[in-house]
């Protein structure tokens, strides 16, 4: 999947620099998934923004199993496994930006409806209990305290034609020094890379299926 500006109608073009390139242009690992949805771009975007991450976990058991890897928040993991506490009935991508990091929260780096949304997180993800750094969106790109990894989770839509939309997800991580890079490589090698792929794949597949079921002619 390559996200470019070619083929866009002249009346509205996506920004020349995607949010994941703006906030994390240099990175250690990257993964991306995409699917074509048989619906217009705005319908697909709204479905992505309204997608319930808890329901995604219920519909895709492997996604629920991998929820603790953080692509789905810890809070979703707890709810799916019957643990008690104050938990919402549903949780959207935007909702995750209102949660504390230790509770599954992400930082909203930017949003350009209906093209893309980017979430960020900084932490020592390889530790049994993750140590997070409180980094605001304005400082994310240049933040470089040693010993951490910076992750971006970006999702978006791209018009194919009036009745088809590309729905995509991009995951990127950069480390801030060689020590963190060594630790993150071990963490990534032991299955985190495939886990992130499965989680993103599950979300966009559920969104696609729900949109096409809802818009299918009766």
Mean confidence (pLDDT) of the chain:
82
DSSP string, 146-186: TT-EEEEEEEEEEEEETTEEEEEEEEEEEESSHHHHHHHHH
Residues in Cβ contact with 41 at an 8 Å cutoff, skipping those fewer than 6 apart: 114, 157, 158, 159, 165
**Tell me, what DSSP letter sits at residue 189?**
I
pLDDT computed for residue 68 by the predictor:
39
Residue 129 vs residue 193, higher pLDDT: 129
C-alpha distances in Å from residue 147, one per residue of 127, 150, 178, 184: 12, 10, 8, 10
Q: Which has more confidence, 125 or 195?
A: 125
Q: What is the pLDDT of residue 96?
A: 87
- Write down all domains in the chain, each with its CATH number in brackets: 31-215 (3.30.530)
Q: What is the pLDDT of residues 167-198, one digit of tens each?
A: 999 999 999 999 999 999 988 887 666 677 77
Distance CA 164, CA 40 (A): 6
């Amino acid at each position: 999947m390559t996200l470019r500006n070619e083929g866009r109608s002249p009346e509205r073009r996506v920004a020349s620099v995607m949010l994941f390139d703006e906030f994390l242009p240099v990175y250690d690992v990257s993964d991306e998934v995409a699917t074509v949805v048989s619906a217009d771009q705005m319908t697909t975007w709204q479905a992505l923004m309204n997608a319930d991450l808890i329901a995604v976990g219920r519909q895709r058991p492997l996604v629920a199993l991998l929820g603790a890897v953080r692509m789905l928040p810890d809070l979703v993991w707890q709810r799916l496994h019957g643990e008690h506490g104050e938990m919402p009935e549903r949780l959207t991508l935007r909702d995750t930006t209102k949660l504390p990091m230790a509770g599954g929260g992400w930082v909203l780096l930017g949003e350009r409806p209906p093209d893309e949304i980017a979430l960020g997180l900084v932490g020592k993800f390889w530790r049994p209990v993750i140590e997070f750094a409180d980094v605001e969106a304005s400082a994310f790109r240049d933040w470089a305290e040693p010993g951490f990894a910076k992750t971006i989770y970006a999702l978006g839509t791209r018009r194919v034609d009036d009745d088809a939309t590309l729905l995509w997800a991009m995951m990127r991580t950069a480390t801030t020094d060689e020590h963190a890079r060594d630790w993150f490589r071990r963490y990534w090698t032991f299955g985190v890379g495939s886990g992130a792929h499965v989680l993103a794949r599950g979300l966009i597949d559920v969104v696609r299926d729900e949109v096409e079921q809802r818009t299918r002619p009766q």
